Chains A and B, each alone.
Chain A
Amino acid sequence: MSSELFAAMTRSILDGEAEDAADLARQALAQGLDPLAAINQGYVPGIQQVGQEFSCGDAFLPELVMAGEAMKAAIAVLEPEMARQGVERSLEGRVVIGTVHGDIHDIGKTLVGTLLAAHGFEVHDLGVDVEVTRFVETARAVKADIVGLSALLTTTMVVQRDVIEALEDAGLRPSVRVMVGGAPVTRQWAAEIGAEGYSEDAAGAVQVARQLMAVA
């Protein structure tokens, strides 16, 4: 019975059907299934398969993002029950992500957030035009392992440095690693401002985040 349900959950992720994924999560709760088992045996195999297909070039970015959204929808349904039972799913790490103050570019940052969430990170997406202090406050509040800073303008790139300095002033470094990205951002810039992680694209950002967690 539950194995059929797990298979359907896997399918919903592979198909990127967020509504199906959420419906199946509700069914699981109604049947009294363990929410962690639903995640680990139902949904995670789906996201792993999509991730594998993506890395060998058989799946495309929209499929990966849709799978990630479906995963998010399912977990949102299961989370209250997990909280009630006092259990937590195993996380790759906690990430606070946002586009820095003065900059409203959204898409790259959102993509990185979605892919990180799909790969087992807990992601707190603060949106765009995020004040320096909000990064610091949120990083402290959620006990972030990683802060991700996006900037698409040469004039707002400098704010990435401001955030890093503010994290230092708040005493949150070195427990918080910083990743930077955005079209004008280069590896050299990342090194100059003391950011530990840099990736030119979203798929690469997942690998960088994993590496940062490994050395943490």
Chain B
Amino acid sequence: MMSKEILSISNPRLKLEILSDEDVQRLHTATLDVIANTGVRFPSKHALTIWEEHGAQVDHATQIVKAPGELIEAALQKAPPTYSLAARIPEQDLALDGDHVYVATDGCGVEIIDLDTGVRRTSRLSDVMEIARVADALPEIAFHWVPLSAQDRPPHTRGLHEILAIWNNSTKHAQTESIYSAAEATLAVEMASAIAGGKEALRQRPLLSLMQCTAPPLGQDGGSLDAALIGSQAGLPVGFMTMTASLTTAPATLAGNLVVGNAEVISALALIQLAYPGAPVFYAAAQTASDLRSGAYTGGGPEDFLFGAATNRLADFYHVPLSMGSFATGAKEPNWQAGLENSLSTFMACISMSDMLLGVGLLHGSRIWSYEQMLLDCEIFSIIHKMMAGIPVNDETIALEAIHAVGPGGNFLTQKHTRRHMRELWLPRFLDRRPYNIWEEQKDDGRDWARAKARQLRTEHQPMTLEPRLEKELNQMIRTLEA
């Protein structure tokens, strides 16, 4: 049995002042200006009704809502600042308390580099199961996103097959970004209730959370809104992610990009609070800049890294947790670009203590799953985890006694102080520190070791599955929607 330990960053000693208080206030004021005067599109009858009941200006033809700043601010104040994401076993619950950074798998890709053949192919449900099993074994991974789309299942129930695959292969919390219809959300709540032991038990311990994408610029997706409202009604944590891209769906300037995305996210969170005051919500973001030449999604670059650090300042301002896009390299293979982009994006998101990081394992701008990249990303997080602990300075760490004892020209290998602290030093799993001649004989590297490790975990790790009767029941629930 593997350890149930989850590696998270807490008590950080590194800090970065990326935006001043005045900067944040200006971004907030501009955001309220946008929501009140230009408005945000909410293409959902349910959502428009809620806005109208609370006195916002609603244009039913365009589905654009204009809400005064006071309404947005009052609604956001009802959001709980801290809560927990529940796991199937309580020791893996995740406290979203502002003092933890947790990592998940990325989602939702469409292809996978097959772990056995090394060939790229379309993703299927068995991939979701196997990735969940490997993720269950890795302490760096605290919760799941749906990593890949189960394209061998019907589109209208695919999201349900995916979460069941995760629950049946891991005890860790599942957050899905792939449920965006009222029917699927309703059934997802029922399935989660069945596992939790009833609706009230689920409200107390939400085993599932929902992440919905906005539709930049300044829009929401109707099905996503309906699904989010159903989730919130059941007490599931719900978040809205903006992926504003400078140049195409947002201004070329980074501050302007933050304003557009912020308007999308806080208007959606305000809607949830108007409907269900006090419901757990979170901010989610993966802003970027489109490539100047092709307009393409880049999956990396200095703008992304800055957004990674800046967004938690906004989420903190609204006292809600943040789920931040990091990793998600644009590289086609686990190569230098992937290492560079994923290291910098994750470092910047960690240094501002983003609560949740999404996530490990995908290449080519979150499209192609690579087990190698998954393991290498975990290594990146473990490096950053070590860095965030900083350099504690106290009598014990200053080590005067040991220094006096060794004196000029000696070494510290035999000191008791060394033995006490040596295991605090970081050890690589996938960095090559071997002698040159050994490398020359083998010509292998971290990618090969990561692949071997993933194969081993996939074969050997035995997750705590659902009880067979429960799994059968959940499958039957899905079938009711397929009949």
Bound together = yes
Chain A residues with CB under 8 Å of chain B are: 54, 57, 60-62, 102, 104-105, 107-108, 111, 153-156, 158, 183-184, 186, 188-189, 200-203
CB distance A155 to B110 under 8 Å?
no
Cβ contact within 8 Å between A61 and B292: yes
Q: Smallest CB–CB gap between B364 and chain A, Å?
A: 10
Collect the chain B residues with CB atoms within 8 Å of residue A108's CB. 295
Instruction: Please determine whether B151 and A60 come into contact, CB atoms closer than 8 angstroms.
Output: no
Q: Taking CB as reference atom, which chain B residue is nearest A185?
A: B110
Q: Which residues of A contact B43 (CB under 8 A)?
A: 104
Decide: A155 and B111 in contact? CB cutoff 8 A. no
B110 touches A62 (CB 8 A): no
Q: B296: CB under 8 A from chain A? A: yes
| B contact residues around A105 at 8 Å (CB) | 215
State A62–B295 Cα separation when bound (angstroms): 9
Contact, CB under 8 Å: B294 / A155: no
Taking the complex as formed, is B33 at the interface, i.e. its CB lies under 8 A from any CB of chain A?
A: no
Whether a CB of chain A sits under 8 angstroms from the CB of B313 is no
Closest to A184 in B: B110
**Cβ-closest chain B residue relative to A112:** B295
On whether the beta carbons of A184 and B149 are closer than 8 Å, the reply is yes
Interface of A is mostly: loop
Which of A105, A107, A154, A201 counts the most B-chain CB atoms under 10 A from its CB? Answer: A154
| 8 residue pairs, one from A and one from B, having the closest CB atoms | A154-B149, A155-B155, A184-B110, A201-B294, A60-B292, A61-B295, A107-B248, A201-B296
Within 444-472 of B, Cβ neighbours of A (below 8 Å) are at none
Q: How far is the CA of A13 from the CA of B367 in the complex (A)?
A: 37
A154 contacts B247, C-beta separation under 8 Å: no
Q: Who on chain A is nearest to B220 by CB? A: A104
Measured CA separation A60–B248 after assembly (Å): 12
- Contact at B290–A183, with CB atoms within 8 Å? no
Q: Are A155 and B215 in contact (CB under 8 A)?
A: no
Complex Cα distance, B215 from A212, in Å, reads 32
**If A154-B108, A155-B158, A184-B149 touch, does A61 touch B294 (CB 8 Å cutoff)?**
yes
A184 touches B292 (CB 8 A): no
Q: Shortest distance in angstroms between A42's beta carbon and chain B's nearest beta carbon?
A: 27
Partner of B122, one of A60, A156, A188, A202: A188
A202 / chain B contacts, CB cutoff of 8 Å:
294-295
Check B367 against A183 for contact (C-beta < 8 Å): yes
Residue pair A61, B247 in contact (C-beta under 8 Å): yes
A-B contact pairs, 12 of them (CB 8 A): A61-B292, A104-B215, A111-B248, A154-B110, A154-B155, A154-B178, A155-B155, A184-B149, A184-B367, A188-B122, A201-B295, A203-B293
Closest to A201 in B: B294
Q: B303 an interface residue at 8 Å Cβ cutoff?
A: no
- List, in ascending order, chain A residues with CB within 8 A of B215's CB: 104-105
| A202 and B221 alpha carbons, distance in the complex (Å) | 24
Instruction: Give chain B nearest CB distance to A181 CB in angstroms.
Output: 12
Chain A proximity of B295: nearest CB distance (Å): 5
Contacts A155-B156, A158-B155 given; indicate if A104 touches B294 (C-beta within 8 A).
Answer: no
Instruction: List 8 other contacts, CB 8 Å, given A102-B223, A104-B222, A186-B122.
Output: A57-B293, A61-B292, A61-B294, A104-B43, A154-B110, A154-B149, A155-B149, A188-B122
A158, B154: Cα distance in complex, Å: 10
Q: Does B39 sit at the interface, judged by CB under 8 A?
A: no
Whether the Cβ atoms of B296 and A200 lie closer than 8 Å is yes
Residues of chain A within 8 A of B221, CB atoms compared: 104
Q: Is B219 at the interface (CB under 8 A from chain A)?
A: yes
Q: Is B297 at the interface (CB under 8 A from chain A)? A: yes
The answer on a CB contact under 8 Å between B297 and A183 is yes
Q: A62 to B247, Cβ gap below 8 A?
A: yes
Which of A54, A184, A201, A202 neighbours the largest number of chain B CB atoms within 10 Å of its CB? A184
Give residues of chain B (331-386) contacting chain A, Cβ–Cβ below 8 Å. Answer: 365, 367
Q: Closest Cβ of chain A: how far from B197's Cβ, in Å?
A: 30
Q: Nearest chain A CB to B177's CB is how many angstroms away?
A: 11
Contact A107 B158 (CB under 8 A): no
- A-contacting residues, B113-160, CB 8 Å: 122, 149, 151, 155-156, 158
Name B151's closest neighbour in chain A (CB-CB): A154
Contacts A183-B297, A186-B111, A201-B295 given; indicate if A154 touches B248 (C-beta within 8 A).
Answer: no
Whether B77 sits at the interface, judged by CB under 8 Å, is no
Task: Check A186 against B110 for contact (C-beta < 8 Å).
Answer: yes
Q: How far is the CA of A157 from the CA of B54 in the complex (A)?
A: 37
